[in-house]
Chain A
Amino acid sequence: MTGTLKALVIGMGVLVGSLANAADEFIVLQSTTSTRNSGLLDALIPKFEAISGIEVRVVAVGTGQALRNAQNGDGDVLMVHAKLAEEEFVANGWGVKRFDLMYNDFVVVGPGDDPAGVESIANVTDLISKIAKSGEVFVSRGDDSGTHRAELGLWSQAGIDVAAASGTWYRETGAGMGTTLNIGIGMGGYMLTDRASWATFGHKAGFRILGAGDKRLLNQYGIILVNPARHPRVNAVAGQAFIDWLTGETGQALIADFSIAGQQLFFPNANVVQD
């Protein structure tokens, strides 16, 4: 017994010792599940780490949570997709400056046999109105994420009060994109998702894209350095280096090159002059 106790103590000592890893320079990137789950960040970050020597640690959560985490100073760089919220974040002094980074688009996915019959409808507000009236289930993220905010914007444009329908045909999961897709597929419902998350989702179970192409489905990603004036521990130099690299020639080219099964999922637009 005494011998095994000693072995245990030594073992625990080794474990404790291994906690004190040499801390190389790193930044924390507060980002969204769509960029991570699609594999985009896995394609970009090792290249940046190789040339800069800066490790990028990705915390992938919903846009709402990413914004709050960054506001608490728990991150150096913020990469999300909710332009209004991002601009507000910068205006309130939490971020230094917002840069456009890239875009893709949202799509409406649903059961392969399309029970609500929405497939040929080009106008997205008409499309979701028809789902609402069909009695088929629509499954929402309901988690204050970028996708959720975009979806709520569309309902409001369509003049449909989803809050009143909550729990009936309108179901809010309060979960991330992947979890919501799993739930929605289980329920046989329609969902709004970003194209990248859908393209890389591994459990489609006969579901497919039934609505896409409306310009209101544009999904713009932005990138922001957390303001070191508010949070002195922010690694501003390394964070800005990452932003510069992503919005620069190399990063933008790598974003354009990233594809799944021959399909480009993100379209760089950092250098496009916008109105």
Chain B
Amino acid sequence: MQDFSTIFAQSIGLILGGDAQLWAVIFLSLKVSLLAVLASGIIGLPLGALLAVGRFRGRQAVIVLVNALMGLPPVVVGLIVYLMLSNTGPFGVFQLLYTPTAMIIAQTVLVTPIVAALARQLLETLDAEYSEQLRSFGVSRLGTVPTLLWDGRYGLMTALLAGFGRAIAEVGAVIIVGGNINHVTRVMTTSIALETSRGNLALALALGAILVAMAIVVNAAVTVLGLSARQAANV
């Protein structure tokens, strides 16, 4: 068994070596997961806000469902999206299977419940504080949604980051719908799975270290953009 210092040295070497293929894999990972988070935000944030302020029949049931879907197994999502996009599936005509778009779709399915559930929780708290004042301003119940989304934006950023963490780290869904095709749909996690199955454990761990580093960079970038606890509470 290679020791961890070897693995550490190997991952540093991989990054500094500037291997073009590695960079392509890193870029694809970021691209797929960031776009999946973007799509999840577009769907999940308004959905979470509606669940936070809406007063409709079955609201509690939807909340329970969305909360439960946070724990969707990636493999199941991968399988469902595969069946949808397969040539014999309902969306086969779009020829999306084994493309990055398929991976984005699968991760969006995976991440949207996380974003929606966390947003719902956060915005419900904010709504409890704001709702009387906003109604006093003469804002309608649904009209409060943009205000809540904007004033909760820093907290919501954390919800999106949680979604990104889930997306960038999952392998079960993307390996089924992406196929782990070299130069086309191979991302960090599927590379790690591949190298593990080849018995190249040191390389697999080095890639894992890079994946963690990527997650740190993205989180740090968001923090630098102005997400501090103080601002989250006040601005």
Surface stretch bound by A, among B46-54, B111-119, B135-143, B176-184: B176-184
Kindly identify, within residues 64 to 94 of chain B, every residue whose CB is under 8 Å from any CB belonging to chain A.
86-89, 92
Which A residue sits closest to B175, measured CB to CB? A61
With CB as the reference atom, state the residue of chain A lying closest to B104. A19
In this complex, how many residues of chain B approach chain A with their Cβ under 8 Å: the count is 30
Known: A15-B34, A59-B98, A74-B87. A181 touches B184 (CB 8 A): no
Q: B133 in the interface, Cβ–Cβ < 8 Å?
A: no
Which residues does chain B contribute within 8 Å of A58, judged by CB atoms?
179, 181-182
Is A219 an interface residue when CB atoms closer than 8 A count as contact? no
Q: Mark interface residues in A57-70 (1 if CB within 8 Å of B CB, else 0).
A: 11110000000010
In the complex, the answer to whether B197 meets A57 with C-beta atoms within 8 Å is no
Instruction: Check B199–A204 contact: CB distance below 8 A.
Output: yes
User: In the complex the two chains form, what is the Cα distance from A60 to B193 in whole Å?
Assistant: 12
Chain A residues numbered 8-66 whose CB sits less than 8 Å from any CB in chain B = 12, 15-16, 18-19, 28, 33, 37, 42, 57-60
Whether B198 sits at the interface, judged by CB under 8 Å, is yes
Q: Taking the nearest CB of chain A, how far is it from the CB of B64, in angstroms?
A: 32
- B147 CB within 8 Å of chain A: no
The residue of chain B having its C-beta at the shortest distance from the C-beta of A4 within the complex is: B225
Q: Quick one: given A1-B226, A19-B101, A57-B179, are A178 and B197 in contact (CB under 8 Å)?
A: yes
Docked Cα-Cα span, A182 to B88, in Å, equals 35
Is B196 at the interface (CB under 8 A from chain A)? yes
Nearest CB in chain B: distance from A93 CB, A: 14
**Chain B contact residues: over half helix, strand or loop, or mixed?**
loop
Q: Is the CB of B199 within 8 A of A73?
A: no
- B97 beta carbon closer than 8 Å to chain A: yes
Q: How far apart sit A72 and B85, CA to CA, in the bound complex (Å)?
A: 10
Given the interface pairs A1-B226, A19-B101, the reply to whether A57 lies near B184 with Cβ below 8 Å is yes
Inter-chain contacts of A15 with B (CB < 8 A): 31, 34-35
Contact A201 B88 (CB under 8 A): no
List A195-239 residues whose CB lies under 8 Å from chain B: 200-205, 231, 233
Given A57-B184, A74-B86, the answer on whether A233 and B198 have CB atoms closer than 8 Å is no
User: B95 on the interface (CB 8 Å rule)?
Assistant: yes
Q: Is A16 in contact with B35, judged by CB distance below 8 angstroms?
A: yes
The docked-state distance in angstroms from the alpha carbon of A182 to that of B196 is: 8
Residues in A with CB closer than 8 Å to B38 are 12
A73 touches B179 (CB 8 A): no
Q: Determine how close the nearest CB of chain B comes to the CB of A6; give it in whole angstroms.
A: 12
Residue B200 at the chain A interface, CB threshold 8 Å:
yes
Among A19, A179, A204, contact of B196 (Cβ-Cβ < 8 Å)? A179
**Is B152 located at the chain interface by the 8 A CB criterion?**
no
Q: Is A176 an interface residue (CB 8 A)?
A: yes
Q: Which of A1, A12, A33 contacts B197, CB < 8 Å?
A: A33
A177 at the interface (CB under 8 A from B): yes
Given A18, A19, A74, A201, which contacts B198 in the complex, CB threshold below 8 Å?
A: A201
Residues of B within 8 A of A200 (CB): 198
Given A57-B182, A59-B179, 10 further pairs, Cβ under 8 A: A4-B226, A16-B35, A28-B181, A37-B198, A69-B86, A74-B87, A74-B97, A178-B196, A231-B87, A233-B87
Seen from chain B, the residues whose Cβ lies within 8 Å of a Cβ on chain A are 1, 31, 34-35, 38, 86-89, 92, 95, 97-98, 100-101, 104, 179-182, 184, 194, 196-201, 225-226
The 6 closest A-B pairs by CB, nearest first: A178-B197, A73-B87, A203-B199, A202-B199, A59-B179, A201-B199
Q: Give 27 CB contacts A-B under 8 Å.
A: A4-B226, A15-B31, A19-B35, A19-B100, A28-B98, A28-B181, A42-B182, A57-B98, A58-B179, A58-B182, A59-B179, A59-B180, A59-B181, A69-B86, A72-B86, A73-B87, A74-B98, A178-B196, A179-B197, A201-B198, A201-B199, A202-B200, A202-B201, A203-B201, A204-B199, A205-B1, A233-B95
